Amino acid sequence: MAAQDAPLFRKIADALRASILSGELMPGTQLPSENELKDQFGTTRVTVRKSLALLKADGLLMSRQGKGVYVRPRPNVQMLTTGANFRIRRDTGETNYNAEAAAQGLNAEQRLLGVETVPAPPEVAERFGFAAGTPVIVRRRLFFVNDEPMQLVDGYYPPARRP
């Protein structure tokens, strides 16, 4: 579905997501009220609520009962890996991310959300040297630190080649 064909609640969510990811809306910032967002986007509170629910599910927003909706602070895991400890961790079967978080006293978890074949987005196709829309495999994972969502990661892979 093209962006212009997306439902309004997704367009609102995309606009807010872009403001969060660009740093325009910093962690801890309170969002305008549902009524203010409704007026800003020229829609209804129901549509605004659907947008906010989508961003909460993505781990970008959190609600405080009676206080409002805020940009969720992101836990910080510093990747301090050296070649030597990467090789040691590789042999244990534990992911480097989880091992690095544990070394910093944090509890990390990765959840696989799905694996599917999708048309390659233009930037992915360019990196692989494919035409945009060529089928690729995407693996979507959600990373948590101390039970809080940290990041959503999409890994793209070329389709398997058949002999």
CB 132, CB 121: distance < 8 Å = yes
pLDDT interval class at 9 (50, 70, 90): very high
* Count of C-beta atoms within a 10 Å radius of residue 11: 17
Is 58 found in the same domain as 89? Answer: no
Domain interval for residue 27: 3-71
Task: Give the end of a domain, one of 71, 96, 115.
Answer: 71
In the predicted model, is pLDDT for residue 150 greater than 80?
Answer: no
Q: Quick check: is 162 in a domain? A: no
- On whether residue 76 sits in a domain, the answer given is no
Q: What is the rounded end-to-end Cα distance, in angstroms, of the chain?
A: 34
Spatial neighbors of 135 by CB under 8 A, at least 6 apart, are 117, 118, 119, 120, 159
CA atoms within 13 A on the CB side of 70: 12
Decide which of 31 and 147 is more confident. 31
Which of 47, 71, 95 is where one domain is finished? 71
Q: pLDDT category, 4, cuts 50, 70, 90?
A: low
Residue 77 lies in a domain: no
CA 67 to chain CA centroid, Å, is 25
| CB atoms inside a 10 Å sphere around CB 158 | 14
How many independent structural domains does the chain possess? Answer: 2
Residue 44 lies in a domain: yes
d(CA 134, CA 119): 5
pLDDT tens digits, 104-135: 888 888 889 899 999 998 889 999 998 888 99
38 and 88 belong to one structural domain: no
101 in the same domain as 64: no
pLDDT mean over 19-34: 91
